[in-house]
Amino acid sequence: MHRTHRTVGSGGCGRRFARRARESILGPVERLSIRPSGPLAGTVAVGGAKNSVLKLMAATVLAEGRYVLRNVPDITDVRDMADLLRAMGAVVERSAPHELTIYRPPDTDLLPEAPYELVERMRASIVVLGPLVARFGHARVAMPGGDDFGPRPIDMHLRALEAMGTEFEFRHGYIEARADRLVGARILLEFPSVGATENALMAAVLAKGTTVIDNAAREPEIADLAAFLNRMGATVLGAGSSTIRVEGVEELSPVEHVVIPDRVEAATFLAAVGVAGGEITITGARAEHMDMLITKLCDMGMRISHDHEGIWAMAPGRLRAIDVSTLPYPGLATDYKPLLVAMLAVSDGVGIVTENLFAGRFRYIDELVRMGADIRVEGHHAVVRGKPMLSGAPVRAHDIRAGAALAVAGLRAEGETIVTDAAHIDRGYEDFAGKLAALGADVSAN
């Protein structure tokens, strides 16, 4: 791999490992067992972005026909979104290991309804609301509840759709939305919410006239959704910046699309090598989607470089503590935070971590403390005093990223760490244990 950026490292990145995806037929992983393994080495491939593919799947309700999505990870959230589309009448097939084909069988009407049983499984289902109203003029979607991060309001989603002419009624736990034809509007988001930007964008593409979304979220997954919509025939300008302009069109058509790589999965491997030490290559990862994280990891003492094939990373020994603060993109993603806390727990010095997006996103810290980490939480700040080594313990994964972070912490914890409720990790990671094991980590799933 040719290294061009922040290159300090030496030569090649060592062995390549064959990897066999865990068959989904094996069912969810209940427990992960991790032991310290010494430095990691080798190459691992990153999959498609969960937070992109879920929205692309939702966008398929915008036009009839046959869609093909490539680079789709085999994860629970994708299966849940597939079930939701099926409940509406679509056919969703895994046409190849990382490919989904989505279409509606002839003579089937699509039912614009997202039932509670499915929305409850996956909160992100709320992103079907905008495209359903835009396409069908009405939709019935279960109200999502809170989750382990605390309350997860959708007021900005609803206000954006209201600005385009949607009327809402709330009955028996369902949002009932109605609009004759959506009309383009100026939408000023109070906060650059990812989901609200996506819902507004997917509604605006079929609205009459021009929509401008100001203070839009700028995540790479939004730009991927816009690229998908534009390929379908929409006119979306400025996605990836704070102002998105959409000229509504009468009709869209289905397309084929390759999902962007998952930056949080890539970050997980970076955190793993940061904690365990070693030198790895992450193929498929796009460093330009992870600039702030890479800057922070270099501040901690890691060496990182990249080229068009992926990211090379090396951790020379125990890292230095730094302060981190989560912000909407291009700031440091809240999804990286549990991984950074795990890294700080074994770094040299004291780091202050500030959470600015999800007030309740600190629950995994109690679990890290059970592993001997020295962390004090004050409001939305955590003060992490690094220790040379943690102590393996049984711990519980409360959500996807927390589960991944606990497993990563286990790489520098004496004895055995057992992560229970590890099925949470499968929601967002394909073959999590297998990929880490391929890098030489002592991780097994059962």
Contact residues for ligand EPU, defined by CB under 6 A: 50-51, 54, 124, 152-157, 191, 193-196, 217, 333-335, 357-358, 400-401, 428
Work out the end-to-end distance of the chain between its first and last CA atoms, rounded to an integer number of angstroms.
35
| Shorter beta-carbon distance to ligand EPU: residue 170 or 191 | 191
Q: Cβ of residue 304: shortest distance to ligand EPU, in angstroms?
A: 22
Q: Which residues contact 362 (CB under 8 A, 6 or more apart)?
A: 355, 377, 380, 382
Q: Is the peptide bond before 330 cis (omega within 30 degrees of 0)?
A: yes
- What is d(CA 226, CA 236) in angstroms, rounded to the nearest whole number? 6
Q: Side by side, which strands form the sheet with 210-214?
A: 186-188, 210-214, 243-247, 235-237
- What is d(CA 351, CA 335) in angstroms, rounded to the nearest whole number? 18
| Shorter beta-carbon distance to ligand EPU: residue 37 or 51 | 51
Question: Residue 332's beta-bridge partner residues?
Answer: 326
| Residue 378: half-sphere exposure toward Cβ, Cα within 13 Å | 3
Give helix 220-232 / helix 194-204 axis angle, nearest 10°.
10
Here the tokens at position 20 are 């066999």
Written as one letter, the residue type at 181 is: R
| Shorter beta-carbon distance to ligand EPU: residue 41 or 75 | 75
Phi first, then psi: what are they for 444, rounded to 5°?
Answer: -140, 150
Residue of this chain nearest to ligand EPU (CB atom)? 195
| Shorter beta-carbon distance to ligand EPU: residue 312 or 429 | 429
Task: Verify whether residue 80 is a known catalytic residue.
Answer: no
Q: Is 269 helix (H, G, I), strand (E, B) or coil?
A: helix
Q: Cβ of residue 191: shortest distance to ligand EPU, in angstroms?
A: 5
- What is d(CA 313, CA 282) in angstroms, rounded to the nearest whole number? 8
Q: Contact 73/50 with Cβ under 8 angstroms? A: yes
| Shorter beta-carbon distance to ligand EPU: residue 124 or 443 | 124
Here the tokens at position 58 are 């939702």
| Shorter beta-carbon distance to ligand EPU: residue 36 or 328 | 328
Q: Cβ of residue 361: shortest distance to ligand EPU, in angstroms?
A: 8
Q: Contact 400/267 with Cβ under 8 angstroms? A: no
Catalytic residue (one of 74, 80, 107, 147): 147
| Shorter beta-carbon distance to ligand EPU: residue 144 or 277 | 144
| Residue 193: half-sphere exposure toward Cβ, Cα within 13 Å | 24
Q: Cβ of residue 285: shortest distance to ligand EPU, in angstroms?
A: 16
Q: Cβ of residue 417: shortest distance to ligand EPU, in angstroms?
A: 21
- What is d(CA 54, CA 121) in angstroms, rounded to the nearest whole number? 13
Q: Cβ of residue 435: shortest distance to ligand EPU, in angstroms?
A: 17
Q: Contact 281/40 with Cβ under 8 angstroms? A: no
Q: Where are the alpha helices (DSSP H) in 27-103?
A: 50-59, 76-87
Q: Cβ of residue 399: shortest distance to ligand EPU, in angstroms?
A: 6
Q: Catalytic positions, please? A: 147
